[in-house]
Amino acid sequence: MSIIESKEKLKEDVIQRLKSVYDPEIPVNIYDLGLIYKIDFEEKNNYVYATVEMTLTSPACPVAESLVEQVKYVTQTVDIIDEAYVHLVFDPPWDPSMISDDGKDIMAASGAHI
């Protein structure tokens, strides 16, 4: 029997948690900023593993390690997830067109620019 009843519901739960993580220099959460490329789950031996593929606004981001740790932590706060893995990738490279409409609205309202 599967522990994961709905991968879509589980993904939404992870996304909600990821929306609490911010790059300290940008007033938009990392999900709406377009830094999350992929969220996947695997069930093995009654454990649920989450894998998050993400990028940074710049490969030289000074808070890279902190953001990766925060993503891992908040992903593991979803009740049925036993372990989270975060893979940092730079292909494709991030660009401002990846910001969601909500993120663009927040940036416009705050006067922030990238």
Q: Output the pLDDT for position 1.
A: 52
Q: Is 26 helix (H, G, I), strand (E, B) or coil?
A: coil
Q: Is 17 helix (H, G, I), strand (E, B) or coil?
A: helix
Q: How far is CA 38 from the centre of its chain?
A: 8
Q: Output the pLDDT for position 25.
A: 86
Q: Which of 3.30.300.130, 3.90.1150.10, 3.40.30.10, 3.30.260.10 is the CATH number of 7-107?
A: 3.30.300.130
* pLDDT tens-digit readout, 9-31: 999 999 999 999 998 889 999 99
pTM of the shown model: 0.92
